[in-house]
Structure 1
Amino acid sequence: MKNKWIISGVLTFLILGGGTYYFLYMKENIPMQLTASSNLIKATDEDVSEPQVELKDLKEVIHETQKLVVKIELEDGSLGSGFLYNDKGDIVTNAHVVANAKEVKVNTTDSKEFTGEVIGISNDTDIAVVRVEGLKEVAPLKIARTRTAEIGDEVLALGSPLGFQNTVTTGIISGLERDLNIDNFKYEDVYQISAPIAPGNSGGPLVDRKTGEVLGINSAASNQGTIGFSIPITDVLPLIEGWSETPMTSLPNVSFQSEQPLFDGGGSIEEYAQYVVNYFYESLNFGDYVTAYSLLGSSWQSKTNYTDFRKGYLDTTSVYVEEIILSNEEEAVTAVATIVADERNNGANKTARYKVTYELGYENDQLKLLSGKGEEIK
């Protein structure tokens, strides 16, 4: 009987002790769990957050974008711009750039020329799509599919104003939701931009200065001041994608006069020569040896194959043009440039300055570096 009382007392003590411990544990920990962030909510927040967009250097954005912007020419000599939208070889441009044309000439930055077919065009919205078979499988520009621009966003406008292919101007989004009518086209909720644009810019991309994403299609400019207008790409994506999936079998007549007649050589040959020399070294600076090599004339390329050309610049870590002096003789231009290069030499880095002299002239309507020579400035 005594043993039973002892066992009963022990059990009672254990029950009371366990209950007290559980009460104290609940009092200490449950409030903390109630105020702690939910793992489910945390996981959900991480899942729905938008991916971080990579920010890029200005020169990097320009270089990557320029290669995918084209000049569009019609038989009557009028011109405009466009940009590669997808890997089917589809070029987005303005309807008024390719109005009433079935086929157009498309020129790329590396001086290649293609024939493009208009596969979609609107007579209400100033948008058209040109398919270029030769540009299939080429990686296109990145499109801001869900993000719209805001006032103050820094932007780049690329195109071929007055025939100067792949000219870049900078500015900001200076206005939103602008409405205007030009001939039969209605421009609704378009961006107003401060980046200067001119005839030939139409159809070129409006690019985010920090990410390189296409925000809009440059379409019109004010006659006064440096005010331009760009159609938000998000507003016309369904139209563009519809034509890409199902090209139009017959094209409507578009009552809009095409832009500016193409000037001889797109401006003065000296200005174009300066652009070509700068673009040559810009391509080298980014390791884009293919584009740089394409700027050489056929005679130079016949004497120097691509492999040897590339090998000659592999130890150049960076290079830029310090000064260019141009002289013009009839259809040829001599460019004397001072360049600064950072080079690797037997494991050591050094900075050197060179004087280089180029002869430039036209081949198949494209200005090329026909010959060149250089010497180090001691």
Structure 2
Amino acid sequence: MKKWIISLFSTILVWGAGVFVFFYIKETVPKKLTASSELVVEAQAEEEKVPTELKDVIHHTQKLVVKIQLADGSLGSGFLYNNKGDVVTNAHVVANAKDVTIITSDSREFSGTVIGISQETDVAVVRVPGLEGTEPLKIAADRKGVVGDEVLALGSPLGLQNTVTTGIISGIDRDMDIEPFHYEDVYQISAPIAPGNSGGPLVDSKTGEVLGINSAGTDKGAIGFSIPMTSILSLIEGWVKTPMTTIPELDLGTEGYAYEDEYSLEDYSSYLVNYFYESLNYGDYVTAYSLLGSAWKSGTTYEKFREGYLNTRSVNIDDLTATSEGDHATVVAIISAEERKSGSLILSKYKATYEVRYENDQLKLISGKAERIN
């Protein structure tokens, strides 16, 4: 009898302990997990707040800035606004044109159609079906820049000069008229709006967000003017949702605007080689590989191409010359490469020669060879 009572008592204790553990786990562990999850979320949020390096902001933004070319040869800039392939630019860049050519930073060419343009505000939208699905730049939709914000003014990716200028917002709420447009509450910036910048984005150098559209400049010092995105978003969104069926004509003067000069095949080819090495330096092998022509790609897989540069830490172009004949160009680059070999870093010099030509309306590196030099 005594043994039976002891056995029953032991069983009750085991059951009680089991019930206690069950409810303890049920009530306590989820709270701890929730607290841990909250800490993870907070840590991730803190990580997202860490400013991006300036060079990374520039490289990422440049890839989404495009050159806009009209049938009459005039040129300007724009930037990818959404994943529908819509490009935002200045109205004066695409004035009196319906169809334009869009050239990306990796020399791809696409057809674009103006779907919206203002006769009063210097803004327009070009729809580019070939860019649909491409992740666009981030837009600062809910905040305006303030005096002292560090900014980048980016222009045509194929313009070799003044592609990127740096500065600060040096004034706000500036008003002016450059016929036929009225500029109201625009940013005054110390980054000059020079040829190649007009129509490009004004970017927060810390976050990479687009604050405005670079629109006009002055030759009286390093001063530029940019239209805040917050003041034109409703206009842009209206055209995105309901494209204009008739494009109005504009009577433009040239005073104050930043037009880009025409560039030669040598200029474009030099830019392409520079962009190739820039992409390698950022470890952006996908972009670098995309610049190769079809014949080069057919003999070199992406994996093999990437493997060939994994031990290259950085490349600096010491000298670059380009010559052209007919429809192709030859670019010779003297480069210094910091390479990892046997666990050490060594500096090597090379003479690299590239043949550049248009392939399906896209400028490509058709072939390349390098020889080591002293």
TM, length-normalised to structure 1? 0.77
> How far apart in 2 are the matches of 1:165 and 1:294?
24
> How far apart in 2 are the matches of 1:377 and 1:244?
54
- In structure 2, the residue matched to 1:135 is 131
Is the 2:335–2:350 contact (alpha carbons within 8 Å) kept by the matching residues of 1?
yes
Aligned residues: 325
Q: How big is the shift at 1:272?
A: 4.5
Is the 1:101–1:118 contact (alpha carbons within 8 Å) kept by the matching residues of 2?
yes
**Residue type of the partner of 2:68?**
I
Residue 349 to residue 162, structure 1, CA distance change in 2 (3 Å): closer
Residue by residue over 1:229-266, the C-alpha shift from the partner in whole angstroms, topping out at 9 and shown as x without a partner, is: 10011111111111112212222222225874752428
Moved more, 133-142 or 365-374: 365-374
> How far apart in 2 are the matches of 1:51 and 1:351?
34
- In structure 2, the residue matched to 1:249 is 245
- In structure 2, the residue matched to 1:187 is 183
Residue 204 to residue 246, structure 1, CA distance change in 2 (3 Å): same
1:343 aligned residue (340, 354, 358): 340
**Residue type of the partner of 1:234?**
T
1:295 aligns with 2:291: yes
Moved more, 116-125 or 365-374: 365-374
- In structure 2, the residue matched to 1:31 is none
TM, length-normalised to structure 2? 0.78
Gaps (5+ residues) in structure 1?
Answer: 1-45
Question: What is the DSSP-based 3-state SS (H/G/I as helix, E as strand, rest coil) of the residue aligned with 1:244?
Answer: helix
Tell me which structure has the larger Cα radius of gyration: 1
Moved more, 252-261 or 61-70: 252-261
Question: What is the DSSP-based 3-state SS (H/G/I as helix, E as strand, rest coil) of the residue aligned with 2:202?
Answer: strand
Residue 156 to residue 368, structure 1, CA distance change in 2 (3 Å): same
- In structure 2, the residue matched to 1:265 is 264
- In structure 2, the residue matched to 1:173 is 169
Question: What is the DSSP-based 3-state SS (H/G/I as helix, E as strand, rest coil) of the residue aligned with 2:147?
Answer: coil
> How far apart in 2 are the matches of 1:245 and 1:327?
45
1:374 aligns with 2:373: no
- In structure 1, the residue matched to 2:64 is 68
The aligned runs of 1:204-283 (5 Å cut-off) are 204-256=200-252, 260=259, 262-265=261-264, 269=266, 272-283=268-279
Q: How big is the shift at 1:277?
A: 2.7
Residue by residue over 1:1-34, the C-alpha shift from the partner in whole angstroms, topping out at 9 and shown as x without a partner, is: xxxxxxxxxxxxxxxxxxxxxxxxxxxxxxxxxx
Moved more, 154-163 or 212-221: 154-163
- In structure 2, the residue matched to 1:5 is none
> How far apart in 1 are the matches of 2:259 and 2:190?
21
Is the 2:270–2:322 contact (alpha carbons within 8 Å) kept by the matching residues of 1?
no
Is the 1:71–1:160 contact (alpha carbons within 8 Å) kept by the matching residues of 2?
yes
> How far apart in 1 are the matches of 2:296 and 2:124?
38
Is the 1:79–1:163 contact (alpha carbons within 8 Å) kept by the matching residues of 2?
no
Is the 1:322–1:337 contact (alpha carbons within 8 Å) kept by the matching residues of 2?
yes
> How far apart in 2 are the matches of 1:163 and 1:227?
20
The aligned runs of 1:63-212 (5 Å cut-off) are 63-160=59-156, 163-164=159-160, 167-212=163-208
Q: How big is the shift at 1:113?
A: 0.7
Is the 1:274–1:324 contact (alpha carbons within 8 Å) kept by the matching residues of 2?
no
Is the 2:155–2:162 contact (alpha carbons within 8 Å) kept by the matching residues of 1?
yes
Residue by residue over 1:308-335, the C-alpha shift from the partner in whole angstroms, topping out at 9 and shown as x without a partner, is: 222322344x312151242646563442
> How far apart in 1 are the matches of 2:179 and 2:113?
24
Question: What is the DSSP-based 3-state SS (H/G/I as helix, E as strand, rest coil) of the residue aligned with 1:275?
Answer: helix
Question: What is the DSSP-based 3-state SS (H/G/I as helix, E as strand, rest coil) of the residue aligned with 2:233?
Answer: helix
- In structure 1, the residue matched to 2:321 is 326
Root-mean-square deviation (CA, aligned residues, Å) is: 2.9
